[in-house]
């Protein structure tokens, strides 16, 4: 889209917004519209020359340039022909509606009625736009009871006691957690919170929460309990992570889509060798046991031997009966 088209697009929302927000500070306008103050001032300077056909000076859109210059606030008049913004095009409507559908799956039941009715009204208001139904978000909702309790804890600011399954070690843990947020990432629900056991911020996958108990204790402030930014990746490799090399049979190349890795090349049997960083060898061991011989541990040798002896021990149980 050209610069002028983008500017028109912005001005078509800017004019109706300013008409109903007399005297709004230009800095606030800039924040809302995601541009600089300078840009808003430039927009106003253009609008000053716009108006009804054959309008003479004084009939154009009137921006109070004195108020803008001296107080940094915006007053606009003579723009009665632009009372409402331009309708949403299909691309915008679909982006917004899909985002809200994702929100719906993350928020608990407490907020869902508001999200549902907002979605229904938006669909009605944008009904003419093509493609508003472009996308659908499917989420495992098997953990709805856990989800509800955590949403409730967040809404009321209460500490929770979690029984949490550490899948890689096949182990149940008990911990008190001050919840910070519910997060959906990579299509799964997590709760982020201050974990008293780890004395740090942790993410817990909801389908691994065996039970939640809402405590009467309100959540506390924690030094260093900043919310993490998960924009790039959900889990940072820990300092004590170790490296492993695994080989993938052509049937197991899908692994590359799920695991951060470096490709090392193809071995003599035609298996692709990749290097992975693992914070948890127990996880990798279970991953390889699951893969029916389509994944082989190359390094470390110790881990390869562990996998082999685990498989041997497991097979022994079938020879008895």
Partner 1 sequence: MAPRTTERLMNLLIALLVTPTYLPKSRIREIIEPYRGQKDAAFDRMFERDKEALRTIGITIEVRDTESYHGNESGYRIRREEFELAPIDLEPSEAAVIGVAARVWQSARLGEATAVALRKLLAAGVPVDPDALSGVEPRLAASEPAFEPIWEAVVTRTPVTFQYERADGARAQRVIEPWRLVSWHGRWYLVGYDRDRADQRLFRLSRVVGEVEPAGGPNEFDVPDDADVREIAESLFPAPPTADAVVRVRRGRGLGLRRRATSEDSADDGWDLIEVPYGSVPELAAEIASYGKDAVAVAPDDLRDEVRARLSRVLEAAR
C-alpha radius of gyration, the chain, whole number: 28
Note whether 133 and 126 are within 8 A (CB).
no
Please, which residue, 124 or 239, has the CB nearer to partner 1? 124
CB of 269 to partner 1, least distance (A): 10
Please, which residue, 155 or 198, has the CB nearer to partner 1? 155
CB of 141 to partner 1, least distance (A): 11
Note whether 266 and 253 are within 8 A (CB).
no
Of 255, 254, 289, nearest in space to 170 by CA = 289
CB of 242 to partner 1, least distance (A): 19
Pairing relationship of beta strands 209-218 and 272-278 according to DSSP bridges:
unpaired
Token pair of 170 as six digits: 């096949």
CB of 261 to partner 1, least distance (A): 15
Question: What's the distance, Cα to Cα, between the start and end of the chain in Å?
Answer: 71
Please, which residue, 242 or 294, has the CB nearer to partner 1? 294
Please, which residue, 3 or 70, has the CB nearer to partner 1? 3
**CB count, 10 Å around CB of 43?**
22
C-alpha–C-alpha distance, residues 30 and 43, integer Å: 11
Please, which residue, 73 or 137, has the CB nearer to partner 1? 137
CB of 183 to partner 1, least distance (A): 4
C-alpha–C-alpha distance, residues 276 and 296, integer Å: 13
CA 320: distance to chain centroid? 50
CB of 191 to partner 1, least distance (A): 10
Please, which residue, 239 or 265, has the CB nearer to partner 1? 265
């Amino acid at each position: 889209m050209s610069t002028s088209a983008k500017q028109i697009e912005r001005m078509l929302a800017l004019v109706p917004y300013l008409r109903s927000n007399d005297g709004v500070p230009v800095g606030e306008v800039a924040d809302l519209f995601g541009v600089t103050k300078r840009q808003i001032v430039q927009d106003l300077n253009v609008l000053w020359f716009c108006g009804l056909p054959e309008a003479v000076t004084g009939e154009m859109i009137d921006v109070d340039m004195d108020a803008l210059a001296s107080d940094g606030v915006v007053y606009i008049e003579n723009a009665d022909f632009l009372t409402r913004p331009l309708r949403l095009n299909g691309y915008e409507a679909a982006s917004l509606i899909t985002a809200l559908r994702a929100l719906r799956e993350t928020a608990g039941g407490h907020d869902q009625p508001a999200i549902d009715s907002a979605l229904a009204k938006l669909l009605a208001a944008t009904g003419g736009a093509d493609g508003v139904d472009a996308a659908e978000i499917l989420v495992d909702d098997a953990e709805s009871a856990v989800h509800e309790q955590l949403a409730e804890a967040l809404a009321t600011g209460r500490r929770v006691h979690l029984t949490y399954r550490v899948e890689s070690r096949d182990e149940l843990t008990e911990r008190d957690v001050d919840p910070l947020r519910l997060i959906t990432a990579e299509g799964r629900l997590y709760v982020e919170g201050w974990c008293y056991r780890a004395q740090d911020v942790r993410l817990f996958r909801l389908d691994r929460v065996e039970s939640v108990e809402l405590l009467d204790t309100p959540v506390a402030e924690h030094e260093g309990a900043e919310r993490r930014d998960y924009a790039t990746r959900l889990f940072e490799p820990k300092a004590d992570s170790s490296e492993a090399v695994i080989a993938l049979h052509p049937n197991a190349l899908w692994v590359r889509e799920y695991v951060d890795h470096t490709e090392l090349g193809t071995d003599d049997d035609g298996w692709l060798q990749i290097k992975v960083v693992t914070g948890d060898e127990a996880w990798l061991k279970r991953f390889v046991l699951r893969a029916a011989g389509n994944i082989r541990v190359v390094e470390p040798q110790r881990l390869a031997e562990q996998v082999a002896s685990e498989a041997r021990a497991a097979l022994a149980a079938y020879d008895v009966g």
